[in-house]
Amino acid sequence: MSRRVLMWAAIGLLAVAPVVLSDFYVTLLNYIGLASIVTLGLVLLTGVGGLTSFGQAAFVGIAAYTTAVLTTRYGVSPWLSLPAALLLTLPIALFLGFITLRLSGHYLPLGTIAWGIAIYFLFGNLEMLGKYSGIAEIPRLSLFGWSLGDGRHMYYPIWAITLVALIAVDNLLDSRTGRAIRSIKGRTKMAESFGVDTSRLKIILFVYAALLAALSGWLYALFLRYVNPTPFSLNAGIEYLFMAVIGGSTEVWGAIIGAALLTMLKEWLKDILPSIINQSGNYEIVVFGLLTILLLHRTRDGLVPFFAALLPAEKATLPRATAPALPARIQPPRGEPLLDIRDATKRFGALAAVSGLSFEMRAGEVLGLIGPNGAGKSTVFDLMTGILPANEGEIRFRGERIDRLPAREIARRGIARTFQHVNIIPSMMVLENAAIGAHLRGSAGVLSASLRLDRTEESGLQHEAAQRLDWVGLGSQLFEPAGALPLGSQRLIEVARALCADPALLLLDEPAAGLRYMEKQALADLVRRLRQGGVSVLLVEHDMEFVMGLVDRIVVMNFGEKLAEGSPPEIQNNPAVIEAYLGSVV
C-alpha cells in the first residue's frame, strides 16, 4: 500500500468518524486534533529545526485566555478573537525567541521550562483571568447563523484546521526555506555559507510554531467554552513534546500519530489500570513513563519513521520545467583583481594557524593552495568565507573588504565553497542537498512555501541543482539519500552545491580525496570548463598530479605562513617546498 493511499484512507476515516462514533470518542478526537496542531509546530521547531521547546502550552494558554477575555468581557465576536489572539502571541513569541534562540542548544529547553511555569502561575494568580477557577461561559462559535457550539459540531472546524496546518507544514518543509530549515540542526556553518540567515530563520520557526499553538488555543477555548490554568501548565507543554518525539518528530504525520497515541493511551490507562491493580495510586504515569522509555529504546526516531521505512518508497521525480533557467552571474572580466589577502593572521590561543599570509588572485585564474597537513589551508578558507574572524590583516574581494562580513553576506558577493569534512545533510536527497547552494538565487519565503505559491521558482531551483549534479556525474542519483553515497560522491555533492550558487570564486577544499582515477579526470575537466566560463577557482588539494596539471599558479603554505608562490614548474623545483614536503635533506 502506498503512502498516498494510506493518507487518503486516514482522511476518509476522519471524515466519517463523527457519524459513526459516540460522543465520547468524538470529544477524544477533538482533543487529538487540538494537540496535533500544537505538535505540528513542534515537528517543525524541534524535530526538524532542532530547537526544543517545553513552552508551547504557554502559547496555547495565551491565545485561549485572550479569546476568553475578549469574548466574555468585551463581547468581541469569537471570530475576531482569532486575529487578536494571534496578534498578541506574535510579539511575545518574537521576544522570547529573540532572547533564547541565539544561544546554544540547552538554554532553549530550560528557558522554555521556566517561562512555562511562570506563565502558568501568572494565569492562576491574575484577578482579571479569574485566578485558578478560570473563565467560564465563553460564547459559541457560529457560522452563517449555524451554531458550532457542542463538541460534535466543533469536530469539523478542528480537523479542517488540523489538516490545513499539516499540509502547510509539509509544503514548507518541501521548499527552498524548508531545505534551509533542515540545515539549521547542526549545520549552521554550512547554511550560513550559502546565504541562509540562520538566526532569523530560527526566530521565524519559533514564531510559526507559537502561532500554530495559538491557533489551537483559540479553538480550545471555543470548544470547551471554559478556560483555567491547568491545561496550559508545564506538564501540558511536556506532553506536546512527548507527542512529537513518540510519533516521530521529523515527520508531519508523526504529530498526528503521536497526539492520537498519547491522548488515547492516557484515557485507556486511566480506565484499565485501576481494574488490573486493585489499589489507588498514580499508576498510569508509571506505566506511561515505562512505555515511553521502552519505545525510545527500540525506535529512537519515533513511530512514523519506523513504519514509514516498511512502506515502499515514493518515486520522486523532477518537477516539470515551468521556469526559464536561472539567470547566470555576469563574471568579472578576466584578469581583473579578484581576491586580495593581506597579512591575514588567525590565532587559536597560542597557536597561529595562519600568520601574516598575503596573496592575490585575478579573475579567471585557477590557483592551487598547497602545503603539508596542518599548514592552515582550511583556516584560510574559513577566514575568506566569514566562518572565522581574522585576528589581523584584511581580505578584499573585488576591491571590497569582506573580512568583517558575516558568512551569508560573503556568499551573496559570489564566493562559494566546499568543506574538507563533508558537510551535507545525510537524510536529505542528493538533489535537495545541492539545491541548498542555490538558496540566494530564490526568494520564496515561509508564507508562499506553506501556500504552495513557490512552485515556479522551486522548479527553476531544482532544475539548476539537477543540472549541476549532472555536471559532477551524479545525474543518475538525484533522489537517493545523500548519506547513502560513498564519501567520494558526497564530496562531489559538495562541489555541485557550491556550483548551484553560481559563484564568481569557487573554493574547493580537497575535492579529489576519495575519488578514483577516472572521477578525478572528470573533475579536472569540470574545473577547466568552469575556468572557460569565467569562474575563478581556489583549490586546496593533496594530489599533486591533479593540482599540477590543472592550476595556473600555486601558493605553498607551511606552519601558517606563505612558503613559496609561482607556476607549477617553479614550485616543483623550489628547494624550500621540497624540504617542507619531504623533510630536510642532510
Partner 1 sequence: MNVTVALWLSQDAVVNGSIYALLALALVVVYTVTRVIFVPQGEFISYAALSLATLQSGAVPGTVYLLIGGGLLIAVLDGSAALRKRKFKRLSAVLAENLVLPFAIAGAAWWAATRPDDLLIQVVVTLAIVTPMGPMLYRLAFQPVANASVLVLLIIAVAVHYMMTGFGLVFFGGEGVRTHLFPSAQFQLGVLNITVQSLAIVATSLVLIVLLAVLFGRTVYGKALRATALNRVGARLVGISTEFSSRLSFGLAALIGAVSGILVSPITTIYYDTGFIISLKGFVGAIIGGMTNYPLAALGSLIVGFLESYSSFWASAFKESIVFTSIIPVLLWRSLTSHRLEEDDEP
* Burial grade of 414 (CB within 10 A; 0-12, 13-18, 19 or more): buried
Among positions 11, 13, 110, 325, the unique one binding partner 1 when judged by CB under 8 A: 110
Q: Which listed residue (387, 402, 535, 554) binds partner 1 by CB under 8 A?
A: 387
Q: Rounded distance, CA 550 to CA 540, Å?
A: 12
- Tell me: does residue 289 bind partner 1 (CB under 8 A): yes
Determine if 486 is a binding residue for partner 1 (CB under 8 A). no
Query: Which three cell numbers, joined as nine digits, stand for 46?
Result: 524541534
Cα separation of 116 and 109, whole Å? 10
Question: Is residue 285 near partner 1 by the rule CB under 8 A?
Answer: yes
Report the distance separating Cα 222 and Cα 150, nearest Å: 9
Q: Residue 160 interacts with partner 1 (CB under 8 A)? A: no
Total interface residues for partner 1 by CB under 8 A: 55
Distance in angstroms (rounded) separating the CA atoms of residues 473 and 466: 10
The answer to whether the beta carbons of residues 173 and 185 sit under 8 Å apart is no
Q: Please state whether beta strands 337-348 and 142-143 pair in parallel, antiparallel, or not at all (unpaired).
A: unpaired
Residue 513 to residue 544: CA distance in whole angstroms: 12
Minimum distance, C-beta of residue 281 to partner 1, in the bound complex (Å): 5
| Shortest Å, Cβ 536 to partner 1 | 26
Using CB under 8 A, pick the residue from 27, 67, 100, 536 that binds partner 1: 100
Q: Grid cell 590565532 — which residue? A: 347
Question: Which member of 25, 149, 150, 189 binds partner 1 (CB under 8 A)?
Answer: 189
Closest approach, Cβ 389 to partner 1, in A, equals 9
Q: Binding segment for partner 1 among 33-41, 136-144, 275-283, 495-503 (CB under 8 A)?
A: 275-283
Instruction: Compute the distance between CA of residue 181 and CA of residue 173 in angstroms, rounded to an integer.
Output: 8
Site string for partner 1, 421-440 (x = CB under 8 A): ----x---------------
Q: Smallest distance, Å, CB 166 to partner 1?
A: 21
Choose, by CB under 8 A, the member of 52, 228, 233, 355 that binds partner 1.
Answer: 52
**497 contributes a contact to partner 1 by CB under 8 A:** no
89 binds partner 1 (CB under 8 A): no
Instruction: Kindly tell me the number of DSSP H helices and DSSP E strands found in the chain.
Output: 23, 14
Nearer to partner 1, 412 or 455 (CB): 412
Residue 188 C-beta: closest distance to partner 1, Å: 6
Q: Does 245 bind partner 1 (CB under 8 A)?
A: yes
Nearest to 424 by CA among 367, 376, 465, 393: 465
Sheet of strand 392-397, all strands in order from the earlier edge strand to the far edge: 351-362, 337-348, 392-397, 400-401
Handedness of CA 432, 435, 440, 441 (dihedral sign): negative
- Letters for 388-407 (x = contact with partner 1 by CB under 8 A, - = none) are -------------------x
For residues 234 and 122, is the Cβ–Cβ distance under 8 A?
no
Give yes or no for residue 292 binding partner 1 (CB under 8 A): yes
Residue 465 · residue 431 · CB < 8 Å: yes
The contact set with partner 1 (CB under 8 A) reads: 46, 50, 52, 96, 98-107, 109-111, 113-115, 117-119, 121-122, 125, 185-189, 192, 198, 238, 241-242, 245, 249, 281-286, 288-290, 292-293, 296-297, 300, 387, 407, 425
